[in-house]
Amino acid sequence: MVNIFVELSKYVILTLMVIYTFYCFFLIRARSRKARAHSLVRQLLLIVLLDTDAFLVLLLKQREPKVLVIYAGMMVFFMAIQILYRWLYRKASFLLLNNMCMLLSIGFIMQTRLSSDDALRQLLIAAASSGACLLIPVVIQKLKFFRNLTWLYALLGIGLLAMVYLLALDTNGAKLSLFGLQPSEFVKIIFVFFMASLLYRNASFPRVVLAALVAGVHILLLVMSVDLGSALIYFVTFLILVYISSRKKRYLLIGIAGGSGFSVAAYRMFAHVRVRVTAFLDPMTVYENEGYQVVQSLFAIGTGGWFGMGLYQGAPYLIPFVSSDCIFSAVCEELGVIFGVCLILVCMNFFLMIGNISLEIRNPFYKLVAIGLGIEYVIQVFLNIGGVIKFIPLTGVTLPLVSYGGSSILSTIVMIGIIQGLYIMREDEDEEMERLRR
């Protein structure tokens, strides 16, 4: 009977996810306030139903009270964050908030399936982070001096990355964590504020050179710490922000050429990079060593097929670092490739919302901040999913809000708080323009 329920539940979960994804894109185009409000409520109902179905399966399979604790805690957390945002910020983007809850839900489901202890820890971090970040939108609205802290951002970012290089312990060939946190996750937000502060007035050649020098120091410290995935995120963010602020294609071309040269140099300098490239080019020839993670990831996705094996019907634990690096493979194996595609679409909807917000912000500094944060988010999603499907070499970055990792969760929720503040600011600007027209 339990196996029949598990088999049926995977189709219910998939159907709920497909409907939720449809509403994501419907809400972008919906103009009627009433239609938007009804669709947002339906999205919340879909999240609750999906979580209830999935956690019922997990409870039947694990038979542990901790599963109920995680489910109850998750429901209380989602209810609290939805109520608090509606109470404190009536003009917030609730589609963005719903997407955050959906992505966190998928993460909690898969982490509970893999390790209920990790899931509980992840839930506590997410709840504490969301509570602490509730003040960010009002800070963004009220404080106007962020654009003037250019060199404080540079010094703070470089200082934190230098501390990681000098003090962090080596973990799997890389220096990532310091005092239980991964500073590069937070410095990437500071880095966007530095770039926006330096370039929003003008993007003259001397300013672009200054930006390149400071960005180069950030990237060099990450490379020396062998945090190459983060280094790539910083580099792409720098390149696109310089191009957007200057509108000069030659900077983009020079950056691409320099990045290509650096990639070749990194391949020759770091054995870690050569291992990843070898595993990418032909993982089956090195299956027992370098290619094992990639091959197991591809096996998991292929085994799941379109509709998945069902929760607890697959073997995601065979994939090394599955809860952090390869969570997307576990999702596809047990919930299906169609579910995985919907997950990608929700992430893209997340990015489109940030893009829409940035296009309508009038303040040039905050416009660049929104664009930079959106770029970092979408590049991180691309690097994670692209690596596990063998589209690009594995980089070791997490899938935001879904993968296990406290620093990743906290930094992404901080980013969402900043975007919400910018969205509310844009809504206030629109109201003011409408009032002046009258």
| pLDDT tens figures, 56-98 | 999 988 888 899 999 999 999 999 999 999 998 888 889 999 9
User: What is the predicted pLDDT for the residue at 438?
Assistant: 61
Written as one string, the DSSP assignment of 211-256 is HHHHHHHHHHHHHHTT-HHHHHHHHHHHHHHHHHHH--HHHHHHHH
Asked if residue 372 lies in contact with residue 241, where contact means CB atoms within 8 angstroms, the answer is yes
Q: What are phi and psi of 120, to 5 degrees?
A: -65, -40
Give the C-alpha separation, 136 to 287, whole Å: 46
Nearest to 232 by CA among 397, 368, 386: 397
For residue 399, the tally of other CB atoms under 10 A from its CB is 27
Give the C-alpha separation, 321 to 176, whole Å: 15
* Mean of all residue pLDDT scores within the chain: 87
Residue 153 pLDDT exceeds 70? yes
User: What is the predicted pLDDT for the residue at 259?
Assistant: 80
User: What is the predicted pLDDT for the residue at 160?
Assistant: 92
Residue 137 pLDDT exceeds 80? yes
Confidence of residue 360 (pLDDT cuts 50, 70, 90): confident
Domain ranges of the chain: 2-143+275-437, 145-269
User: What is the predicted pLDDT for the residue at 29?
Assistant: 77
Calculate mean pLDDT across residues 284-312.
83
pLDDT tens per residue, range 104-117: 999 999 999 998 89
Calculate mean pLDDT across residues 185-212.
91
User: What is the predicted pLDDT for the residue at 432?
Assistant: 60
Calculate mean pLDDT across residues 324-332.
91
Residue type at 60? L
User: What is the predicted pLDDT for the residue at 248?
Assistant: 84
Give the C-alpha separation, 391 to 319, whole Å: 18
Q: How far is CA 415 from CA 56, 121, 193, 355, in A?
A: 32, 21, 11, 14
User: What is the predicted pLDDT for the residue at 228?
Assistant: 80
Which of 9-13, 25-29, 126-130 is predicted with the least confidence, judged by mean pLDDT?
25-29
Which of 48-62, 267-281, 387-401 is predicted with the least confidence, judged by mean pLDDT?
267-281
Q: The dihedral of CA 166, 170, 175, 180: what is its sign?
A: negative
Residue 185 pLDDT exceeds 80? yes
